[in-house]
Amino acid sequence: MNTAGTYLIQISYENLKTAVTIKVKNAGNGTSSGNKGAAVGTTVTRDGIVYEVKPAQSGKREAAVKKAGKSALTKAKIPASVTIEKANYNVTEIRANAFKNCRKLKSVSIGKNVTSIGASAFEGCTSLKKLSIPSKVASIGKKAFSKNSKLTDVTIGASVKSIGASAFAGDKKLKKILVKSKKLKTIEKGAIKGISSKAVIKVPKAKRAALKKLFKAKTGYRKTMKIKG
């Protein structure tokens, strides 16, 4: 009984002519522990990061990174899950503008359950130098990592299907991009515009030809760059 709601249970006893009906309420949210968890929209701050409860998906509790608790944040460690009102929530999303203009942010660790990174989520993080996007992330939003003037090294995880417009635009020191994904289908306009003209993009060998076609001039790709596989 893992679905929220009220249930009627009818019990018939051999020596009774009338069945007994018992009304039972269940908390739902994928648990039978009786812990209802927090209401959708509830927020909590952990280690300088604000998390917000999302609607449950397939009976599983989920939360999103809503924003940085302070613009002076220097380190962001986003866990796989976070505890809110004594219940565990998988952190599956980094919202749009979450860390925008956190200019002192030097390091970011993204939890393994994150599947999407919103528009401008890390735009203007001018102290960030390296970045690794984990394996469950499927989409990178518009301008997600743009204007990160010190960013030199990026790893794109194995499940990324789309890279939004201007996602890495203006990252003038970005020289190394490791693409692990074999599922990448879309690289939007200006995604790598303004990165180092000598950038090396390493892709899976089996997908080199297909991925090379995605890095068109409109994405910001230049002939001086190299695609290796």
Query: Is the pLDDT at 130 greater than 60, yes or no?
Result: yes
Bridge partners (DSSP) of residue 88 are: 83
| pLDDT band at 2; cut points 50, 70, 90 | very low
Domains in the chain (CATH in brackets) are 1-36 (no CATH), 39-228 (3.80.10.10)
Radius of gyration, CA atoms only, the chain: 23
For the residues 132-160, what does the mean pLDDT come to?
Answer: 98
For the residues 19-36, what does the mean pLDDT come to?
Answer: 46
Residue 170: Cβ within 10 Å count: 20
The set of residues, in sequence order, having a beta carbon less than 8 Å from that of 209 and lying 6+ positions away, is none
| pLDDT band at 28; cut points 50, 70, 90 | very low
